[in-house]
């Protein structure tokens, strides 16, 4: 949290939604500690700032927005990330797939890439519930890496 003084104004930068991949459980403990800090220092939170599309954690922006009424902002560059995830707008699909295949072959995927993309591109909103009322993070099996 960034703030000017007690009773002044505050911004939260890159808030974390707690996520345990082993149990597929989310919790808001970290975000609640941020909210408690703001309350204890009489800080209205004006902004929640995402510095980039995170692949190492899920964002708690939506939870904090509901708790504070703050605005959520991210840089214009996020549209490039969204384009690359959703196929790219400025190149043909074949070109895009070749470029990503070449580049991605040199990188190890971040541990939380699949859940992070599904939550963070929605500014911290979890995917909508299925017909049974349960929210799911979709994980494609046997699609990443070379299987070794």
Q: How do residues 109-131 score in pLDDT, each as one tens digit?
A: 777 878 888 888 788 888 999 99
Q: Please answer whether residues 17 and 59 qualify as being in contact, where contact means their C-beta atoms are separated by less than 8 angstroms.
A: yes
Residue 84 has pLDDT above 70, yes or no: no
Mean pLDDT across the chain, nearest whole number? 84
**What pLDDT is stored for residue 119 in this prediction?**
85
Per the structure block, which two tokens stand in for 57?
């954690």
Cβ of 45: how many Cβ atoms within 10 Å?
Answer: 24
What does the DSSP 8-state code read for residue 86?
T
Buried b (16+ CB within 10 A) or exposed e, 3-38: beeeeeebbbeebbbebeeeeeebebeebeebbeeb
CATH classification at residue 100: 3.60.15.10
Residue 127: inside a domain = no
Would you state the torsion angle of the CA atoms of residues 111, 117, 109, 12, taken in this order, to the nearest 10 degrees?
-60
Is residue 142 in a domain? no
* Alpha-carbon span 101 to 85, nearest angstrom: 13
Whether 140 is in a domain gets the answer no
Runs of H (alpha helix) within 5-141: 29-40, 61-68, 78-85, 93-104, 113-120
User: Does residue 51 form part of some domain?
Assistant: yes
Find the domain containing 102 and state its range.
2-119
Residue 144 domain-assigned (yes or no): no
- Report the SS3 class of residue 45: strand
Q: How many structural domains does the chain have?
A: 1
In a domain? residue 134: no
Share of the chain above pLDDT 90, in %: 43
Residue-wise pLDDT for 41-69, tens only, equals 999 999 999 887 766 678 899 999 999 99
């Amino acid at each position: 949290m960034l703030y000017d003084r007690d009773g002044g104004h505050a911004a939260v930068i890159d808030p974390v939604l707690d996520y345990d991949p082993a149990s597929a459980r989310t919790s808001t403990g970290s975000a609640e500690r941020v909210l408690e800090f703001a309350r204890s220092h009489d800080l209205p939170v004006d902004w929640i700032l995402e510095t980039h599309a995170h692949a190492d954690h899920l964002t708690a922006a939506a939870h904090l927005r509901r708790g504070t009424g703050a605005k959520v902002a991210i840089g214009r560059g996020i549209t490039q990330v969204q384009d690359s995830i959703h196929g790219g707008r400025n190149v043909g699909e074949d070109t895009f797939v070749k470029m990503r295949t070449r580049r991605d072959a040199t990188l190890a995927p971040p541990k939380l890439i699949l859940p992070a993309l599904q939550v963070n591109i929605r500014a911290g909103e979890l995917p909508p519930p299925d017909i049974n009322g349960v929210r799911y993070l979709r994980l494609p099996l046997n699609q990443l890496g070379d299987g070794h």
